[in-house]
Amino acid sequence: MERFFIGLSFCVSLIVLCMISLPMPCAAGAEEPSAGLTFGSEKVLRSCWSEEELQGKPQDRTIISTRDLLPLPPRLIAPLSELYPTKPAPSNSIRRINPIGDKKVIALTFDLCERADEITGYDYAIVNYLRAHQIRATFFAGGKWMQSHPDKTMQLMADPLFEIGNHTWSHANLRVMGRKEQRQQILLTQAQYRELRRQLACWPCAQQACVKEMAKIPEIPLCFRFPYGACNTEALQLLKRLDLIAVQWDVLTDDSEKDQTAERITRNVLRNVQPGSIIICHANGRGHGTAQALSLIVPELQKRGYSFVTVSELLTFGTVFAASECYELFPGDNKRYDQLFGRGTELPKKKGGVMARP
């Protein structure tokens, strides 16, 4: 009989721990996860993955074309504000901040893009460098990329150095999409993140780290990046209603260009960076020279007195510089993407419970 009650107690504990990551309103008087911003738990990270598993492998960077049909996330989810009231998001797209005082803070950001007809990679060398040198960063991940790389997504999710942002489901050009398509692209990605977080919360290794540690991992992404740096008024208004902060950049590395080099990336960043800058790079196997450039850029910027923070942390250091339109470096410079990646080419349609090509 004693064994029965011990077993029953264990099962009840499992159920409670798995339920903790489901979308539920905060109970009155519930304990807050922690003071200030948190993005992960070192205990969860080290409990669930060995050092060898975190290091990654060369094949992780591989990019392949695919016509495979993939399952949809379990369901679309409500805006975060319906679960946990937050400060209203800005109406425009943030390009950098103007720090208060002499704060020399900057945000390194890395896009994890994946279109509907491909599976892109994971640049383990970038992540390994950031971890080895304790550099905070933000990864803007597509929902489809998260679906293709569930283990890597959960590693990034659990790492307290990193923040994960929303980068649409399949790297969609929202500027040429209707409101329904825009909403699908955004909320499918939110749903995929939440599903992976739910799965992680139910792993025995995460449960061993305790509920309080899992609570340090955000329930949902809080910031968003437009693919191709392309938006319109409708997309910006939609993000505001969903309480997602639109984040662009003011330093462009051009690391997605196949002939880009670490030396050119380094010169460009060091020439254009300023306090409050947001730097855009890629970590999906399309960052050419990026990993090597980090080993040149980071020490030099630290020597100049800069420190690295996540995007959400950056926004707490000053006032935002935002624009009512989206672009790479100056208004109108990304119009070419409207022809290259136009309406209906990014979001597969639901057919029989799977994602089908349009």
Give 35-46 pLDDT, tens digit per residue.
Answer: 468 899 999 999
Q: pTM of the entire structure?
A: 0.85
**352 vs 137, higher pLDDT:** 137
Residue with tokens 């803070």: 105
What is the domain-level CATH number for residue 75? 3.20.20.370
Residue 40 is assigned to a structural domain of this protein? no
**217 vs 12, higher pLDDT:** 217
184 CB burial (10 A radius; 0-12, 13-18, 19+): buried
Residue 129 is assigned to a structural domain of this protein? yes
The number of distinct structural domains making up the chain is: 1
C-alpha to C-alpha distance for 18 and 15, rounded to whole angstroms: 5
Residue 259 is assigned to a structural domain of this protein? yes
Between strands 354-356 and 70-71, the pairing is antiparallel
User: Which pair of structure tokens corresponds to residue 195?
Assistant: 């599903």
Residue 5 is assigned to a structural domain of this protein? no
Residue with tokens 């002939």: 259
Residue 82 is assigned to a structural domain of this protein? yes
Query: So what's the pLDDT on residue 138?
Result: 98
Residue 9 is assigned to a structural domain of this protein? no
Each residue's pLDDT tens digit, 122-153: 999 999 999 999 999 999 999 999 999 999 99
Residue 44 is assigned to a structural domain of this protein? no
Range of the domain at 79: 70-356
User: Which pair of structure tokens corresponds to residue 272?
Assistant: 């254009």
Cβ burial 32-57 (10 Å sphere, 16+ → b, else e): ebeeeeebbbebbbebbbeeeebebe
What is the residue-averaged pLDDT of the chain? 84
Contact between 307 and 133 (Cβ < 8 Å)? no
User: Which pair of structure tokens corresponds to residue 97?
Assistant: 């901040």
Residue 24 is assigned to a structural domain of this protein? no
Return the closest-CA partner of residue 65 out of 114, 98, 104.
114
